[in-house]
Structure 1
Amino acid sequence: MKIPPEITYRNVEKTNAIDTLVNEKIAKLEHICNYISSCHIAIEKAHDRPRSGSPYRVRIDMTVPPGHELVAESNPSESNQYEPLDVVIRDAFNAARQQLFKLTKQQHESDRSKSYEEVQETTALVTKLFRDQGYGFLKTLDGREIYFHCNSVLHDDFERLEIGTGVHFSLEQGEEGPQASTVKIINKPGVRVGNSEQTLIEPPLDWRE
């Protein structure tokens, strides 16, 4: 955590057993999410002999970037009167863990979605063509091999493709993994335009035409 967890006890004796339990539970939260920015655990005994419910309450407040506030609380009802303190602590941390797991899962799914949405046109070379089957493979300039289908080639230019043709494409997530879409022909590897000294496409280091 960016800030050490803050644990407060109110009308509850802090014992080694309880302190060890709390810290073990905090470690499990960090295992789910290692970027929690703050965590405050309040452990209190509200009543010595309540007419109903448990005398203990445990509340966990967490802050998770970029600005999520999570609150988990255990305050056993009448049916759970006089639950031991360790049980109340476990219940509160179980609730916190469920919330944290749900949040981090949503964040990871959002990050994966953005990683594909934010991809701009990428340059690549055609390395494999299977004309009869209507598909092929591209190799990006950083060495990744990407599948593409003939329907993804713009302007019905699939038949114009040759091994070594330079293209621009967008990356999307297909049923079997990443694949190229909106494939647009640019040029052959190393081709120069006019008198320009700038090579439009520099082939990968392991490129063999």
Structure 2
Amino acid sequence: MKVPPEITYRNLEKTDAIDALVHEKIAKLEQVCNYISSCHIAIEKIHDRPRAGSPYRVRIDMTVPPGHELVAESNPPDVNQYPPLESVIRDAFNAAVRQLKKLSEQQHEYDRAKVQDNTQQTTALVTKLFPEEGYGFVRTLDGQEIYFHRNSVLHDDFERLEIGTGVSCFVELGEEGPQASTVKIVDKPGARAGKVEQNIIEPPLGWNE
């Protein structure tokens, strides 16, 4: 966590066993979400002799970037008469874990959608081929040279590619930079790009092969 967790005990004494349990549960929160900004745990005894329910209440307040505030609380009703403090603590942290998992999944879905939005389909020409190694390069219409692997070529058409073949592809960011995926032949295999019909692919002026 960016800020060490704050643990507050009210109307009860902190024991080594309870403190160890709380820190064990905090570690599990960090396993679910390792970028929690802050976390405050309030453990209190709200009644000495309640007629029903638990005398304990545990509340966990968390802040998760960019600005999410999560609250998990446990104060068992009269389903269980006088549940031990350890059980109330576990219930509160279990609720906190569920909230963190849900938020983390939502954030990952948003990130995936954002990546997909940033992925662009483009038209390109094959400029380099290394058949034995199973990869090559295409040049997009804006002059950018992009790596592609044979596994990215649709319909197992890697063997049909030649220098100058026109293709369509998606450009995405890989571990080592931009790379082409979903590479599809858009002119006759082996045909020079200059011979391709204009409504399919037309190299720009000043194209350098």
TM over 0.5, yes or no?
yes
- Provide the rounded CA distance (Å) in 2 between the counterparts of 1:49 and 1:183: 78
Aligned to 2:152: 147
- CA distance in 1 between partners of 2:169 and 2:185 (Å): 4
Query: What corresponds to 2:117 in structure 1?
Result: 117
Query: Which residue does the alignment assign to 1:11?
Result: 11
* 2:17 alignment partner AA: A
CA–CA distance in structure 2, aligned partners of residues 40 and 200 of structure 1: 62
1:17-166 mapped onto 2 (5 Å cutoff): 17-121=17-121, 125=126, 127=129, 139=137, 141=145, 143-145=147-149, 147-149=152-154, 162-165=162-165
Change (3 A) 1:93 1:118: same
Equivalent position SS for 1:112: helix
Give, in angstroms, the shift of residue 192 of structure 1: 9.7
**Conserved? CA contact 2:153–2:184, under 8 Å:** no
| TM-score of the aligned structures, taking structure 1 as reference length | 0.68
Name the structure 2 match of 1:180: 182
CA deviation map 1:83-112 (0-9, x unaligned) = 110110011001111111111112112212
Q: Is the partner of 2:71 in helix, strand or coil?
A: strand
Residue type of the alignment partner of 1:77: P
For 1:180, the aligned partner's letter is T
The alpha carbon displacement at 1:149 in A equals: 4.3
Go from structure 1 to structure 2 and tell me whether the alpha carbon gap of 1:28 and 1:187 turns closer, same or farther (over 3 Å shift).
Answer: farther
Alpha-carbon contact 1:42-1:59 (below 8 Å) kept: yes
Q: Deviations 1:110-168 (Å, cap 9, x if unpaired)?
A: 21221121123566737599xxxxxxx87465644263548xxxxxxxx9x74454656
Quick check: 1:116–1:171 contact (8 Å CA) kept in 2?
A: no
Using the alignment, how far apart are the partners of 1:63 and 1:200 within structure 2?
A: 54
| TM-aligned CA distance change 1:3 to 1:124, over 3 Å | farther
Give the counterpart letter for 1:66 in structure 2: P
Query: CA RMSD of the aligned region, Å?
Result: 3.5
TM-score by length of 2: 0.68
Unaligned runs of 5+ in 1: 130-136, 151-158, 173-177, 202-209
Between the aligned residues of both structures, percent identity stands at 59
Structure 1 Cα separation of the partners of residues 98 and 125 of structure 2: 43
Structure 2 gap segments, 5+ residues each: 139-144, 173-179, 195-202
CA positional deviation for 1:53:
0.7
